[in-house]
Amino acid sequence: MNHGPDEKGPKGLDSDELALRRMLQSAVEDIEPSDGTLDHLRRAVPARRARKRQATVGMAAAALFLGTAIPALVHVSNSGGSSPNTSMAGDSSTAQGGVGQGKNPDGGASTAGGTGGKAPGHGQGGKKETGKGKTGGTATGTTGGTGPTASTDTATPVCTAAQLGSPTAVAAGPDSAGIVYGSFRITNISMTSCTVGGPGSVDVLAQGAADPTKIGTARHVSGDAATGLPDPSLEVTGLVLLPGSAYEEKFAFVPSETCPPAGGPSPDPSTDPSPSTDPSVGGTDTGGTSGVTTQLVTEDGTADGSIEVSHTPEAGSPTASTTVAGVCAGTVYWTGPLAGS
């Protein structure tokens, strides 16, 4: 059946479209798919769909990340105020007007009065000033066995006799001037801190040829004969001892005269019924009119004398003692409490 130019074919196509269709069909009717094309399509189509799904999921995840990260970033940047301080929390401090409010990071009192609420330790422009206006706080130890700390904290109780122990005393040999230096050391043996109540007391005991009437004690002061002792300004009042720490007190024996030569008045037989006959003993000689004792003779022909120097803390005990040999007269100068070395 023939159709005119304006007539439609059985499928609604005009004559020109039908002719074009027949030409296209005749052009490709000899084309056939190669072997394996169907298998390739069966593999490629699912793979393409999988890639599309992965791309879609990746885009959704990126959109979710941006949607949550950007608001959080905006919130953080806005919460810092006009002058954010990004330093560590333990290193920052602020003061709100007034005098002496707050504390500096190093423990000193703040003096931010009249600054109109400015944070102490910052100059103009928000720059932090370093090394200016800082005051050192009170030093405190953290472990047992460290040195004592000086403090005026009245809350720490005074050391009792039960808290003090391990007393030691040492005396060195005489120097070129004949002065003998030594020290006492007392330790806090308790588990709690305590305050040294005071310098305590120093006593001397004459032995042998030493004359007790010519031996005395005196507190060390600037300009005295014991020039090797620490300056009195180094003595600490209200010394706080941590558990296991110790404090010291130093002394110096300054001789006033040498020991007398061997030989002298005989002792009263009633006080010494059996004098020694040893040739190294000075017969019946005594070392003074009070307290009769047998007097020994040294190799250079002088009587043998010594003194025992002892220290007792303010709490009453313990007592540490040491002996200074080869002396018969002089003065013991001694310091107050010193931080243990």
- Token digits for 328? 């018969």
Report the distance separating Cα 19 and Cα 11, nearest Å: 13
Report the distance separating Cα 13 and Cα 134, nearest Å: 99
Report the distance separating Cα 9 and Cα 187, nearest Å: 122
Residue 158 near residue 194, CB atoms below 8 Å: yes
Q: Above 90 in pLDDT, residue 311?
A: yes
Whole-angstrom CA distances from 76 to 11, 70, 84, 86, 87 are: 69, 10, 11, 12, 15
Q: Above 60 in pLDDT, residue 29?
A: yes
Which residues are bridge partners to 254 per DSSP?
331
Residue 265: what pLDDT? 45
Report the distance separating Cα 203 and Cα 201, nearest Å: 7
pLDDT band at residue 42 using 50, 70 and 90 as cut-offs: confident
Single-letter code of the amino acid located at 335: T
Report the distance separating Cα 95 and Cα 79, nearest Å: 20
Reduced to 3 states, what is the DSSP secondary structure of residue 9? coil
Q: Above 60 in pLDDT, residue 24?
A: yes
Classify the C-alpha dihedral 67-68-72-75 as positive or negative: positive
pLDDT band at residue 105 using 50, 70 and 90 as cut-offs: very low
Task: Say which residue, 280 or 79, is predicted with more confidence.
Answer: 79
Where is mean pLDDT largest: 23-32, 77-86, 190-199?
190-199
For 250, list phi and psi in degrees, rounded to 5.
Answer: -105, 155
Condensed to tens digits (0 to 9), the pLDDT of residues 141-175 reads 334 445 565 555 568 899 999 999 999 999 999 99
pTM over 0.75: no
| Closest C-alpha among 153, 147, 139, 85 to residue 108 | 139
pLDDT band at residue 214 using 50, 70 and 90 as cut-offs: very high
Whole-angstrom CA distances from 140 to 195, 233, 242 are: 13, 21, 9
Report the distance separating Cα 249 and Cα 219, nearest Å: 11
- Token digits for 84? 């954010």
